[in-house]
Structure 1
Amino acid sequence: MDNYGILSLVPPLLAIVLAWRTKEVILSLFIGVFAGAMLMADYNPLVGFMETLDKYMLGSLSDSWNAGIIVFLLAMGAMIGVINKAGGVWAIGEYVARKAHSVKNTQFATWLMGIFIFFDDYANTLIVGNTMRPITDKMKISREKLSFIVDLTAAAVSSIVPISTWIAFEVGVIRDGLNAIGVEQSAYTTFVQTIPYRFYSIFALVFALILIYTARDFGPMYKAEKRARLTGRVIRENSTPMVSKELEAIGKPEGRSFNIFDSFLPIFAVILVTIYGLWYNGGGTSPDKTIWQAFGDADASIVLLWSSFAGILVGGLLALIKRILSISEIMESIIDGAKSMLIACMILLLAWSIGGITEDLGTANYLVSVLAGSIPPFLVPVLLYIISGFIAFTIGSSWGTVAIVMPLAIPLGFSIGVPLLPTIAAVLTAAVMGDHCSPISDTTIMSSTASAVDHIDHVSTQLPYVLIVGAVALLIGFLPAGFGVSWYFLLPLGVIALYLIVRSIGKSVKEEDLLIS
């Protein structure tokens, strides 16, 4: 029996429903794995529970690749902790603030800061929102607009750059999917190749730039911007701004602190070691190999381990040499930073586990047998995009969505004959889109908190923008990509469409009429 029939859908569907109802992604994924393990154990709950822990969860960690990715994630958190403790976060914010002298420049500085802090979406959200809020308030930019830019850049950037806390998760689930279909190719290389097909993430970043440089908005966001400029009220009257105690942890330390160059030096170290490490580990010293062949043959989990510890080492030594932090303070910041990655590590571990369950149950085989003759191959990326976006919206978790859908998406697309790159990208970028729409998303809540805006105001002003960008990504991106159309043509077309939309329905709040002090 190559699959358990309709029962093989129980683990992922149960995880989806529970995550939607309880909003607890980790618990929902665990129950999904347990349900699958119990099916494999002939409905014996005791055996199912034991196999959930040892065969699937512990088994996932026993894989050297997976273990390396977990350590990388913890190390990246540790590096961020050192940079923050040494005042690097404050230094980045101060540098950007000095460049902002107008409404347009301030919004662009906020967007640019969101791009620069690409290594983690949580750090991005807290740093950008907290740092730029006093500046945007002074320029009479609505908190709704601030939170929109903060929210938009955080996950959209972190999910597509080759160096971030997201890469461990995304490369891990891609690797599992490729192994499930027996394809021998580098998961890291595949990840990089999907970047141009992340239509929503790329279009969202460009869309924000279009809004900034045309000085146009529409819908609820236009009303918020008009209120802020005309009356000076950056938040709606009678609203309830969210404020987080976490923000108190971000600030300038007493005495010495990192400058802007110091702040990015550990990140540069991570980037350089990753590039060199991929070349070296993949056999780049051989004269017969090109750089890209070496990158494809490299073990990314080992290389990312090298690079993340290089970042910790550079950050720690710099803080010690400049007498900013003592050894005990460096160790404390490393531990605190690593702790911040605990939830991400748990989701990743359970993502691997539910992937193993669906493989053992033959979920992909069952779906292929049901859908192969009923879904046109060109519609697979579109359907995966819609389904993933909806799941992310309902459960409020990008990672949880990818963990549930990706183990099914890659085998399904491969068996039906759909190009894998847009298929994988559809799941990854739709998870970000649904997360941006969801009022229960952690990053959406954190954006409201860091920007000190009413959460419902943030969601209601952002939603029309996300839906428009999402529709363009669907119609101009994934629909033609399903026919094999290259991203070379689709990305420029999508940007043009977004520009025309903003120009046709957007309205301008003219700065010269608003007496900005």
Structure 2
Amino acid sequence: MPGETYGLLSLLPALIAIVLTLVSRQALLSLFAGIWLGATILVGWNPVAGAARSLEFIVANVTATFNVKLLLFTFLIGAMLGMIFLSGGMKSVADAIVSRVRTSRQAQLGTSILGMTIFFDSYASTMISGSVMRPVTDRFDVSREKLAYILDSTTAPTASIAVVSTWLGFEVGLISQQFQSLGIERNAFVVFIQSIPFRFYSLFALALVFVVVLTDWDFGPMQTAERRARDEGKLLRDDANPMMETQASDIETPEHVNPRWWYFVSPIVVLVFVTVFGLWFSGGGIEKTATALASSEGIDQISAILSAFSDSLKDADTANAILWASFAGCGTILTILVGHARIELDKVSDSIFEGFKMVMFPVAILSLAWSIGSVSEQLGVGPYIVSVTEGIITPELLPAVVFLSAAVISFCIGTSWGTMGILFPVAVPLAHTIGSPIALAIGAILTGSLFGDHCSPISDTTVMSSMFAASDHVDHVNTQIPYAILAAALATLAFLVSGYTGLPVGITLALGVVMLVGATYFLSEHVGITDGIGVAEAFE
């Protein structure tokens, strides 16, 4: 965390990048403009030195160990998809699903359920769900914006609250660290579980997906996009720039190849298996499982093994796990293409390069998004927002204030984990000191941090949702923000109710869902095609 804050100026680079992105629809130039502005502020308003500092930020972020592994993972996933396109396996699976799916609603519901089913990692969930379901939703004229929204709203929100996921170790670790420093003798994992019902934004965001899908009550820019897709057959708006331009139809399957469903399923199964194994192995799974077996007998061994598996996930190396998995997936489909489909190596090589091409733009966006997040942190966005809110906090108000602070910080820096790291050392001690419920405060931090990760234009998961939905990134953000704001508004109200009334959380959640349904119906009727306005247009 930086030693000083630049006050209101600390918000400027991220806000400029976001506004320029939404207005100009030129994400790369807008993000660099924000980086340059922030770097210029840091070097004393020297624009030339600011440009040099900007490049340093980009190099530092691209070469950071975790980030470079994520970029390599993205390239390998692109290569794997290129080879799957060549095999015709994705089309075969899509045809099989389409034969059982009868309506657009079923296609959207299937995408939602698949996104929640792959709960162990948000990146893997986005990639798999998008790759499998995009041909299906395309067949039923579901707009790419809607697909991106479903992916974005059922991956990270689910992974963040799952008790077996790549998020678990980081979140429990932050809780444990604060408990140790404050002398709180409580089990960090138990408090993590207790905080789940208070993840109001995450739960409302998930509920909203199913409300919208089951009722067809879209509103705002999303309603416009859906009407365009259904009435005109245009999955993308005119002049859209989809983040994944290469599609299955762009890579021709050789005539002698008989596409099989398992050409697609095999590398995906390997990807999932190696991801889970990698998480377990990198977290010391062998030693922990051996210890658990040695210290238990009979039926108790099952419980001990499950406990050891959960402990392994807490200490897992996510970057290595997904990198191993993507490499294994590539090796699997390469073996199938050469060994079973008998496709020439030159065609395989061409498909790999086509796969690389499809992820080049997302890689560039991710690199700049990380960089502007670093710039914002150097300027002291977190400490500034915390200092603004500290003077108005009471025990009853603290959960709502913490949630809103986390939402603003995460939207500006584009990362939920970074926001958690900023707020935990401030909000947890404050809650402990003034007597606000710890589980409620922790729930507010964790779910508020998810807001920006979910809908900020500079968030990696937002970028990946656009990528694997093959949607225009700005259009995805533009159509999703009204939905995110609705869930955030109700979450804020829920935190206020919990803080001031102490109402049982189950009742608060039930009332929130009822209000969510009512608000969605009202907005779908009154903020539709004729008077809906996009975020980008609001700045024009």
Measured against the shorter chain, the TM-score band is 0.5 to 0.7
Aligned with residue 341 of structure 2, among 323, 326, 332: 323
User: CA distance change for structure 1 residues 482 and 320 in 2, over 3 Å: closer, same or farther?
Assistant: farther
Contact 1:152 / 1:204 at 8 angstroms: preserved in 2?
Answer: no
The aligned residue for residue 404 of structure 2 is 383
1: CA distance, partners of 2:258 / 2:94: 13
Contact 2:376 / 2:413 at 8 angstroms: preserved in 1?
Answer: no
1:253 partner SS: coil
1: CA distance, partners of 2:49 / 2:499: 45
User: CA distance change for structure 1 residues 372 and 87 in 2, over 3 Å: closer, same or farther?
Assistant: same
Establish whether residue 80 from structure 1 lines up as the match of residue 81 from structure 2: yes
Establish whether residue 335 from structure 1 lines up as the match of residue 353 from structure 2: yes
The Cα offsets for residues 428-474 of structure 1, whole Å up to 9 and x where unpaired, read as 34553577xxxx99978997979xxxx99x989x9987765555444
Amino acid at match of 1:156: S
Structure 1 residue 383, shift from structure 2 partner = 1.6
The Cα offsets for residues 95-130 of structure 1, whole Å up to 9 and x where unpaired, read as 111113467656645655777898475886687455
Contact 1:77 / 1:341 at 8 angstroms: preserved in 2?
Answer: yes
User: CA distance change for structure 1 residues 325 and 421 in 2, over 3 Å: closer, same or farther?
Assistant: farther
The Cα offsets for residues 308-363 of structure 1, whole Å up to 9 and x where unpaired, read as 11111112212222216432333332332233333333333334433443444444
Establish whether residue 411 from structure 1 lines up as the match of residue 400 from structure 2: no
Establish whether residue 153 from structure 1 lines up as the match of residue 150 from structure 2: yes
Aligned with residue 426 of structure 1, among 436, 448, 465: 448
Structure 1 residue 50, shift from structure 2 partner = 2.5
1: CA distance, partners of 2:71 / 2:502: 35
Instruction: Give the TM-score normalised by the residue count of structure 2.
Output: 0.64
The aligned residue for residue 64 of structure 1 is 65
Structure 1 residue 248, shift from structure 2 partner = 8.2
Contact 1:200 / 1:429 at 8 angstroms: preserved in 2?
Answer: yes
Structure 1 residue 379, shift from structure 2 partner = 1.7
The aligned residue for residue 512 of structure 1 is none
Contact 2:10 / 2:379 at 8 angstroms: preserved in 1?
Answer: no
The aligned residue for residue 184 of structure 2 is none
The Cα offsets for residues 165-214 of structure 1, whole Å up to 9 and x where unpaired, read as xxx9x97xx89x97xx9999xxxx9xx9899877556545544545666x
Instruction: Give the TM-score normalised by the residue count of structure 1.
Output: 0.67
Contact 1:125 / 1:447 at 8 angstroms: preserved in 2?
Answer: yes
Contact 2:86 / 2:351 at 8 angstroms: preserved in 1?
Answer: yes
Contact 2:373 / 2:413 at 8 angstroms: preserved in 1?
Answer: no
1: CA distance, partners of 2:524 / 2:17: 40
Q: CA RMSD in A?
A: 5.4
Structure 1 residue 269, shift from structure 2 partner = 1.2
1:341 partner SS: helix
Any stretches of 5+ residues in structure 2 without a counterpart? Answer: 181-188, 293-307, 432-440, 526-540
Contact 1:413 / 1:423 at 8 angstroms: preserved in 2?
Answer: yes
2: CA distance, partners of 1:28 / 1:301: 28
The aligned residue for residue 253 of structure 1 is 253
Please say which of residues 342-351 and 105-114 is displaced more in the overlay: 105-114
Contact 1:200 / 1:473 at 8 angstroms: preserved in 2?
Answer: yes
The within-5 A match list for 1:3-18 is 3-5=3-5, 7=6, 9-10=8-9, 12-18=11-17
1: CA distance, partners of 2:59 / 2:152: 29
The within-5 A match list for 1:343-492 is 343-375=361-393, 376-384=397-405, 387=408, 402-403=413-414, 407=418, 410-412=421-423, 414-417=425-428, 419-420=441-442, 422-429=444-451, 432=454, 469=487, 471-476=489-494, 480=498
User: CA distance change for structure 1 residues 107 and 19 in 2, over 3 Å: closer, same or farther?
Assistant: closer
The aligned residue for residue 276 of structure 1 is 277
1: CA distance, partners of 2:48 / 2:345: 47
The within-5 A match list for 1:164-203 is 203=204
Contact 1:3 / 1:366 at 8 angstroms: preserved in 2?
Answer: no
User: CA distance change for structure 1 residues 46 and 339 in 2, over 3 Å: closer, same or farther?
Assistant: same
2: CA distance, partners of 1:240 / 1:302: 35
Contact 1:152 / 1:205 at 8 angstroms: preserved in 2?
Answer: no
1: CA distance, partners of 2:271 / 2:143: 29
Amino acid at match of 1:414: P
Aligned with residue 33 of structure 1, among 26, 32, 35: 35
User: CA distance change for structure 1 residues 374 and 431 in 2, over 3 Å: closer, same or farther?
Assistant: same
The aligned residue for residue 183 of structure 2 is none
User: CA distance change for structure 1 residues 422 and 486 in 2, over 3 Å: closer, same or farther?
Assistant: farther
Please say which of residues 68-77 and 18-27 is displaced more in the overlay: 18-27
User: CA distance change for structure 1 residues 363 and 349 in 2, over 3 Å: closer, same or farther?
Assistant: same
Amino acid at match of 2:40: M
2: CA distance, partners of 1:60 / 1:315: 31
Structure 1 residue 295, shift from structure 2 partner = 1.9
The aligned residue for residue 438 of structure 2 is none
Structure 1 residue 20, shift from structure 2 partner = 0.7
Contact 2:423 / 2:445 at 8 angstroms: preserved in 1?
Answer: no
Q: How many residues align?
A: 457
User: CA distance change for structure 1 residues 404 and 441 in 2, over 3 Å: closer, same or farther?
Assistant: closer
Contact 2:414 / 2:452 at 8 angstroms: preserved in 1?
Answer: no
User: CA distance change for structure 1 residues 263 and 202 in 2, over 3 Å: closer, same or farther?
Assistant: farther
1:374 partner SS: coil
Any stretches of 5+ residues in structure 1 without a counterpart? Answer: 137-142, 392-400, 508-517
2:392 partner SS: coil
2:286 partner SS: coil
